[in-house]
Chains A and B, each alone.
Chain A
Amino acid sequence: MPSSLRKRASSQRQTPSRPKSPSLSPPRVLPGACVSEGSMGGVRRALQVRFADETRVEPMRDHLGLSSAKIRRKIQARGASHQVGSVWAHQSEAEADPVEDEDSASADEALAMYGKYRIPEPRARGDLKGSQVFGFKTPAKNRHAPATRRPMTKTVHEKDNAEAYFEAHGTREIATSDRTLARLKNPRLSQAEVEELLTNEPLKYQAEIDLLLQDYRQKFGKWYELLQRDFNLVLFGLGSKKALIQDFQCEMLKEQSVVLVNGFFPSLTVKQILNSITGDILASSDTFSSVPDQIAFIKETLNHEAEEAIFLIIHNIDGSMLRNGKAQTVIAQLAEHPKIHLICSIDHINAPLIWDQEKLSKMNLVWYDTTTFLPYTEETKNENSLLVKDSGKLALNSLTHVFASLTPNAKGIYTLIINYQIQAIEELGGPQNYQGISFQELYMKSRRSYLSNSDLTLRAQLTEFIDHKLISIKKGSDGMDYLTIPLGNATLNDFLELQR
């Protein structure tokens, strides 16, 4: 019996301290298994009756640990007859009930509990095993008939938000299992692996999504007219809207000046947007000391009759860098101008909070529900996701980019480090033993090849490398700084090849 289960049970019986016995936890307990508790008054009451009888509970608890698999099987088999409420009436296996063994009493108890605490969901695989053992056939897996997961409780859905909030925050303890991803052979995939795996994976319901998109595409003309009449557009709804907006741009704005902003880009600033408008579109080579000046300049320039309108496309205007009030104020001021047309998308569920009345009235937004169900591939790429391996791994192409912008001396220093690292790792026979190049050694080497003349300049260079995550720095056991490049030898060789 899972510890969380037991705790619950004891708390209901108002006996606060019950010794925890080491028990097997069932293989797949759903996290937060007790969400549904509060609403299941009936079940709880029934349980209380049962639990009130201490003598029955004790043996049951003993049994429970060893027989969770059997209970599950039994649950499967008896599903229809022993339902809690009437929530899980299906499964053809219900007719046959060959599982009659010594655990049946405790299994019955567990049945009642099943509705309350989510004992692991039987996977389809588990069912099959059970049926093989006991010699009855599971229904053939039919691709067309969707395999459904049985519902937990009906009442979950009847709860309102407030109740659910207090329920979730009512207890201090966290009623989830203690298992971690470390149990997996491969706990986390890297971003590259995820991308590679998903590239060739077909999208579910492609045809239906196409229909949806076709619907939206029919509105392009209307959107364009709305933009022409000083309205600005916000697209919201589930699914990436980048492709849709891009399509709009291709179709309607081919002959227009467009500034496209990826709001999800992690190092985006408002200044970049303004610079792009003044520099790339208005062809001004000026520099501006403050943002208000720049906005004033843009507006003033656009006030000239001959200037054509600018379309400002912002994918994810609720992106992490644009979420703040200042950025939105600037965007609102731009969008207010009759010759700047804003098309943006929002995805975060709390996104509308970034605008207050003032900004809303400036932006004059018209909202369109464009639910696309397309995956947020690009948008989530930059987010340091929970499940993505955070190796700090530097992709080759980003390395080449940053490298291209370095000064010749810095390039030399970096190549020095690369060469040293490749050699050292080869000599040591693997990256495990490689500590890195010490700062002193690097300094000597770079001085010898006239790449830096003082300790300080070298440090300045290194800071730049660190900022761009080109190297990582670690203190060794001797107190010296050791520098490593977070890339494998193969990649580094590739890189050197590329540079030559």
Chain B
Amino acid sequence: MPRVTSSGSSRGKRAKRLFSEAEDEPSPPPKEVHDTTPVASSSISKGVFAFPGPQRRQRLQAATSGQKQRKRARKATPSAQSQSSGSASPFERSWTTAWTRFQTWQSDMFADVLAALRAFIQDAHPLGQPLSSTMPTAAFLTGVNLPDHGALFGLLAREIRTRVTPHVASLSAQKHGGVNLKALVQSTVAKLMLIEACERDDEESEMEVGSSGLALKKQNLMMPTLRTWYANQYPVGESRVPLVIILEDFEAFSPTMLQDFMISLCEYATALPLVFVFGIATTVSMIHQRLPYHISRHLAIEKFSGQKSTQLLGKLVEALYSDPQVGCKLGGKTLDRLLEMFIMNDFSVKRFLLGFKYCMFEHFSRLPPPVIALCGGDEQGRKDHLNNLKSEDLDQIRYLASFRRYVESDPQNRARLLTNDGLFREEVIMLLGEIDGHFKRFQLCLRALFWLARDLHGRPFGSQIYSLYRCAFLKPVCQTHEYRDVFDILKLLNPSELMKKMEAHGECLIDSNDESIEKSSVECQRIISKLSAFLKHGVQNPEGSPTIHDKQKVTEPNDEKDIVVKSPKIKKLDRFELQKNLLKQTQEKRQRTVPFDDLRREVLDYFHNFFRAFSNLPTSLPLHEILFFDKVSLVHRHLMPAPRAVIQSALDDPGFYLEHPDLLVNTKAEIPNSYPDLNIIYKLHSECGRLINLFDWLQSWVSIADCDDEENCSDETIDPLQQAKFTQGVSSLQFLGFIKPSKRKTDHVARLTWGGC
């Protein structure tokens, strides 16, 4: 029975006092005297408290009268959650789109390897032959990104269940690694024998299993049971359905348990058609490290490797930007942060998506409600929506920072845009359409650039398109040094390579129906034809096209003359002369223009103009706030925070949080006694070395805190109140992990952090 201790209630009082002023509008919740009031949450005998909701409370009362009522109640009340999900908000719509995209692509991407695995399992135990003593094993290399693997193995298990065999046991160290060997075997057998949920009651634990009609208790779920069950289920010679055991995270199982498990299964290698799938995050040699030879010799291992998650992410990022269903697009800095999390931390596409989900949430909750409907959707929808908006609602759009800037830069229409709603509506439609159009071109430009740079030496823009997005969203891509690198390399390409690039680029542009893109497309075709003509001539006439010949004629006579003139001099072997001549010759060579140079310059100029035209940041257009989310500080604060830094800065500088003139002390090195107690104690502590003498600490605390009563204090007697405050402060620091007790010296504590305050 929970009992509130005396200090607990006093604390409660303090909290109540704290909130009494704040709680004006929503009246404070009535504090029930019931046993389950939220107030009764501290006790010296209990650490967990349950407060069932009203619906549950009813059911709890009903539960005493019987289980049947409970089930009825369950059916009767419709779920609140399903109702709320009926109306799809832009957030829900965007999120479900993104999530389904992710899932379908994941299954697409792994389709090949899954099919290979399936075929492997199907052919593992051919029907006619007797079972060999080696068990077929698939080593499935998944890569290090563990968080995504749950979905992957779910997919695999589903695939095998539907296509090959219903008997699949998927084990993960997360769920089953903590238990002992017996429990592991039991759950494996239960899963293979298709016993659904594990038994809870004694009555329920005896279950009918398949057609065999065996009554089984959990204790009996052992390998011999499995063997007899299998012999009953699939008599020898009729059919041979493999039993598949998947170890999702092979490395995470404890080696000893894994070895014991494998040994016990090896015993049944000739009796049961077992097939293993090991999910391996590192390398295949892990199997040999974990399983010694006497076990691994029973395994016939075949290697399968999955796709890298970076590929999936590349696809996903592009889709998130191009899908009109997703009403929120990430701005440059936000994308940068999320990608940083992906690359530096976990390689998990799922977590990237969850980060994206958070951004979407913030985006939609921060936009003023009338604006939300403008995210995504077609032009007609937007028009209808805008026409329904009242003047006040339109003002909310006018308040957007980028629109204000836009209006201020256009003094002629300023007054009309701000007062005339009709005009403003048209303007908004126009601007949004402009963003859409520009963004489409922008994407196309990025795709073209990516194709251009994809197989260049050194891959200046990375191997996946997301890294290009990352660059291009931060500043116009033409200003980046990667872009310059690309062009430096392009300069070195030979005509046929350049031709290939041009053709690929032309294909990129063909699908577009945008006006300005079409213009470039025409230009592109013109250059392609020029290039192909050049190539044709080049192939027919290895010495060069007529133009080359002409130009050579212009320059050659000089050379001949030089040579004629020089030839007698050469005999003299004047080294300086020779050097001079050679220098001259090379310079001339450099100046000599090859016709391909002109053509190449034309091609590169074309590329450069193309990219420069379309690579303006979409986030620089007016009204971009409606479509783009770029509040990177939020991502920083709420997804990748630094809790320790926050605590330390609060301790260092309380004025940062508490706005009080006394706390605005500029010099960091001072310890004013106006600081909160804990801050003073922390600051004193941070001046110390490895060990802190409690006595001295206490004395210096008193010297700061207790400057009021000078007379009656000495080293030996200390005001109990100050001592209590100090005690509380030291406990808090210990609780926060700044200090710990030390046995090296009496009454000393050890510091756990370094550096001064």
Contact = CB atoms under 8 A, between A and B. Distances in A.
A177 B738 CA distance: 21
A16 B122 CA distance: 79
A176 B696 contact: yes
Contacts of B704: 121, 147, 149
A386 B732 CA distance: 11
20 contacts: A35-B687, A118-B687, A156-B757, A181-B698, A185-B718, A198-B724, A210-B18, A217-B19, A246-B41, A256-B53, A267-B47, A276-B50, A296-B198, A308-B56, A347-B647, A351-B643, A371-B646, A377-B7, A377-B11, A386-B731
Contact of B688 (A35, A157, A186, A231): A35
Interface string A389-424: 000000101100110000000000000000000000
Interface string B60-85: 10010000001001111111111000
Interface string B662-685: 110101111111101110000010
A378 B8 contact: yes
B689 A168 contact: yes
Contacts of A362: 147
A197 B677 CA distance: 15
B8 A160 contact: no
Which bucket holds chain A's interface residue count?
Answer: 35 or more
A373 interface: yes
A386 B749 contact: yes
Given A121-B700, A246-B15, A189 B49 contact: no
Given A141-B708, A148-B673, A168-B689, A360 B651 contact: no
B737 A350 contact: yes
B710 A124 contact: yes
Contacts of A254: 29, 38
Contacts of A360: 147, 346, 351
A446 B75 CA distance: 58
Interface in A143-164: 144, 146-154, 156-157, 159-164
A17 to B, nearest CB: 23
Contacts, number: 484
Closest 10 CB pairs of A and B: A265-B47, A32-B689, A151-B669, A280-B50, A361-B147, A32-B688, A156-B756, A243-B15, A125-B710, A123-B703
Contacts of A263: 47
Contacts of A283: 56, 59-60, 63, 70
B200 to A, nearest CB: 4
A226 B710 CA distance: 54
Given A268-B48, A281-B50, A250 B657 contact: no
A102 interface: no
Interface in A227-243: 229, 231, 236-239, 242-243
Contact of A237 (B643, B676, B688): B643
A30 B18 contact: no
B18 A213 contact: yes
B41 A262 contact: yes
Contacts of A146: 662, 665, 672-674
B41 to A, nearest CB: 5
B644 interface: yes
B716 interface: yes
A11 B295 CA distance: 62
A346 B643 contact: yes
Interface stretch (B388-396, B618-626, B739-747): B739-747
Q: Name the residue among B91, B646, B659, B721 with the largest chain A CB count within 10 angstroms.
A: B646
Nearest to B47: A265
Nearest to B738: A349
A176 B745 contact: yes
Contact of A306 (B74, B147, B741): B74
A189 B50 CA distance: 35
Interface string B27-67: 01100000000110110111111111111100110010000
B107 interface: no
Contacts of A307: 74, 79
A62 interface: no
A460 interface: no
A315 to B, nearest CB: 8
Interface residues of B, number: 160
A203 interface: yes
Interface stretch (B171-179, B265-273, B516-524): B171-179
A157 B757 contact: yes
Given A212-B658, A231-B358, A243-B19, 20 more contacts: A31-B748, A35-B688, A146-B662, A146-B674, A147-B673, A150-B670, A177-B693, A179-B696, A183-B716, A185-B716, A185-B718, A197-B724, A205-B663, A213-B18, A222-B365, A236-B646, A246-B41, A306-B77, A376-B732, A385-B727
Contacts of A57: none
Nearest to A309: B81
Nearest to B732: A376
Contacts of A472: none
Interface stretch (A287-295, A450-458, A475-483): A287-295
A149 B647 contact: no
Contacts of A122: 703
B515 interface: no
B19 A213 contact: yes
A369 B637 contact: yes
Contacts of A204: 676-677
Interface string A112-125: 00000010111111
Interface in A345-393: 346-352, 357-358, 360-362, 364, 366-369, 371, 373-381, 383, 385-388
B694 interface: yes
A375 B732 contact: yes
Contacts of A60: none
Contact of A376 (B75, B345, B731): B731
Interface in A57-86: none
A306 B81 CA distance: 9
Contacts of B178: 291-292, 326, 329
B504 to A, nearest CB: 37
Contacts of A211: 659
B493 interface: no
A297 interface: yes
B728 A183 contact: no
A312 B281 CA distance: 32
Interface in A288-338: 288-293, 295-297, 300, 304-309, 321, 326, 329, 333
A425 interface: no
A211 B699 CA distance: 33
B646 A380 contact: no
A466 interface: no
B45 A31 contact: no
Given A203-B14, A243-B15, A168 B200 contact: no
A174 B670 contact: no
B691 interface: yes
A149 B688 contact: no
Given A300-B197, A347-B736, A250 B29 contact: yes
A349 to B, nearest CB: 4
A164 B741 contact: no
Nearest to A269: B47
A239 B754 CA distance: 21
B643 A205 contact: no
A1 B741 CA distance: 28
Contacts of B753: 349
B695 A259 contact: no
B441 interface: no
B720 interface: yes
A151 to B, nearest CB: 3
B754 A161 contact: yes
A193 B18 contact: no
B546 interface: no
A242 B39 CA distance: 11
B10 interface: yes
B638 A176 contact: no
A258 B38 contact: yes
A4 to B, nearest CB: 10
Interface string B709-735: 011010111101101111110111011
